[in-house]
């Protein structure tokens, strides 16, 4: 004889609770939480770079497993249960982050925006060189969108400890002015008459 403990309503409630915990951790813990999320239905690849040499990438699934020991459930051990759920969510987040950064690296390479820094140590000159190469959009007032730089915590701390010199600030202002001038020159000024 086999005992079964199928409780669909319990499973559904547990799934919903884990999903809410996952979304909460993503928003507060992970860079992935800053990225817009969409549900996709198609099974084909995503075209991340268009043009003569497109980059089509397959969808990747992330999965993690969670096992709740019978003793934890029987005792109602909230701390142990919480640790299991958080561990499960962190496994999932780790997979999503790895995929996201690999996708970013592939897109940067395919679009020609990779900038090899071999032999150059981290400096504001290197960062500004990179910022000069990256295209940015503009807001409704014609101001360039800010560039977001993501790096490992050690390098981020190192960069924060370096001071921007007046020459760096002047170069950044020049880059922004060139972008603004280009935006204004290419912005459509004519309107269709009715």
Task: Choose among 101, 104, 98: nearest CA to 49.
Answer: 104
- Per DSSP, the three-state class of 6 is coil
Dist. CA 48–CA 113, nearest whole Å: 14
Distance CA 20, CA 7 (A): 20
Residue 43 Cα distances to 51, 83, 96, angstroms: 22, 34, 18
Q: Work out the number of other CB atoms within 10 angstroms of the CB of residue 93.
A: 20
Secondary structure (3-state) at 101: helix
The more confidently predicted of residues 81 and 52 is 81
| Residue 134 near residue 147 (C-beta atoms within 8 A) | yes
Q: What are the tens digits of pLDDT across the range 108-148?
A: 888 877 777 778 888 999 999 888 887 777 887 777 787 77
pLDDT band for position 70 (cuts 50, 70, 90): confident
d(CA 4, CA 58): 38
Residue 148 vs residue 24, higher pLDDT: 24
The model's pLDDT over 142-159, given as tens digits with 9 standing for 90+, comes to: 777 877 777 778 888 999
Distance CA 95, CA 26 (A): 12
pTM for the structure as a whole:
0.60
End-to-end CA distance of the chain: 79
**Helices marked H in the chain:** 8-29, 70-75, 78-110, 124-133, 153-161, 166-186
SS3 191: coil
Give yes or no for a contact between 53 and 120, defined as CB atoms under 8 angstroms apart: no
What are the φ and ψ backbone dihedral angles of 49, each rounded to 5 degrees?
-135, 125
């Amino acid at each position: 004889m086999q005992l079964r403990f199928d409780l669909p309503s319990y499973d559904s409630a547990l799934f919903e609770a884990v999903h809410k915990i996952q979304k909460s951790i993503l928003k507060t813990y992970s860079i992935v939480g800053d990225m817009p999320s969409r549900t996709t239905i198609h099974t084909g690849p995503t075209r991340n770079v268009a043009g003569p040499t497109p980059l089509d990438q397959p969808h990747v699934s992330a999965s993690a497993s969670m096992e709740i020991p019978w003793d934890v459930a029987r005792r109602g051990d909230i701390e142990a249960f919480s640790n299991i759920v958080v561990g499960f969510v962190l496994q999932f987040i780790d997979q999503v982050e790895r995929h996201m950064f690999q996708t970013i690296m592939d897109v940067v390479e395919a679009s020609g925006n990779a900038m090899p820094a071999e032999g150059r140590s981290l400096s504001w000159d290197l960062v500004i060189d990179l910022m000069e190469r990256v295209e940015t959009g503009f807001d409704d007032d014609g101001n360039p969108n800010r560039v977001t730089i993501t790096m490992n915590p050690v390098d981020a701390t190192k960069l924060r400890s370096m001071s921007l010199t007046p020459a760096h600030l002047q170069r950044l202002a020049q880059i922004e002015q060139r972008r603004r001038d280009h935006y204004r020159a290419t912005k459509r000024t004519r309107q269709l008459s009715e």
